[in-house]
Amino acid sequence: MWVLRSCKRGRGCRVPSVQQIGACAQGDALVSHTTCNEHRAHQHRHASTSGSTSYPTHLPLNFLQRGAVAVLSAIGAVANPARADLVAALGETTGELALRNMRLRMQSSPTGRRILQDQPRVTDATLEYARTMPEGTFGHAYAMFMGDRNFTAGERPPVRFIDDPELAYVAARAREVHDFWHVLFGCHTNVFGELALKAVEFVQTGMPMTALSVLGAQWRLKPEQRARLLSEYVPWALRAGARSADLMSLYYEEHFQDDLVELRRKWRIMPAPRVPRRLIVDAPAVPVQPLPT
């Protein structure tokens, strides 16, 4: 059993155990908001006195805590891929090298550097702006995608376990533009479509979490779905991910007014193959006009 230990960095602070930190990050009822808030307050004071930088939702982990959160999140995410909080925690605790490589690619691109400098956030205001775009545009397709599913732009879990603030932004950016990728690639939002898009993300980002999601959660599919995923959609994802522009260096918000088909062609996006109706469950499809390969 994980126990609560006294903070060695100062008196009066109680550092949550691995289980409690994980529960706090996941929104479960295993730890009180008071404990989490006290810990954040202490980290803010510690950052101020040490001269280090942080961000409001940051929860530092030691090596053992990081490993435990990664393992517990992996188990939970495989059991329930719809738990975005668990998937997020897994990505944050296993993806530092991939995030650093993503940042390097962004720094080598003029648009990527501008994104790192501006640090735009995808919020409900972004979605409201997309709703003003005419039919046929990327912005309109994004607004329809979100509206059909009753999604809101601000419902993504915050980044917590990444120490470097700029890397934390890169992780947040990847999380927030995920729905743009659904629209551009025409991937479903059920388990089948999410796994297909996760395979694209693995090629593009190298995040271990994306590969683990595909390897583990595929067993939640029916045999026919799993066979289709492995024989058709994973090969498509490998080609699509390698062919498209660097997805992290695209300023999507500046292209809401662009024609969706033309934008796919410009960014070398290969929309996903059509999913047979018998394999589709739980969500409407994203309209897709296939591009020549």
- Long-range contact list for 57-65, CB < 8 A, 24+ apart? 57/158, 57/159, 57/160, 58/160, 58/162, 58/163, 58/165, 58/168, 59/21, 59/24, 59/25, 59/160, 59/161, 60/163, 61/18, 61/21, 61/93, 61/161, 64/18, 65/17, 65/18, 65/21
The residue assigned the tokens 């995923």 is 229
Amino acid at position 49, single letter: T
CA 278 distance to own-chain centroid: 28
Q: Which helix (H) or strand (E) element contains residue 5? A: strand 5-6
Q: Cα–Cα distance between 28 and 105 in angstroms, integer? A: 36
Q: Is 194 annotated as a binding residue?
A: yes
Q: Is 46 annotated as a binding residue?
A: no
In the chain the first and final C-alpha atoms are separated, in Å, by: 55
The closest alpha carbon to 221, from 206, 239, 208, 234, belongs to 234
CA 60 distance to own-chain centroid: 20
> What DSSP assignment string belongs to 279-290?
G--SSPPPP--P
> What DSSP assignment string belongs to 163-174?
SSHHHHHHHHHH
Q: Cα–Cα distance between 32 and 111 in angstroms, integer? A: 42
Q: Is 255 annotated as a binding residue?
A: no
- For 17, 87, 188, 203, 288, the CA distances from 291, given in Å and listed in that order, are 51, 31, 18, 20, 9
Q: Is 128 annotated as a binding residue?
A: no
Binding residues: 178-179, 182, 194
Binding-site members for Zn(2+) are 178-179, 182, 194
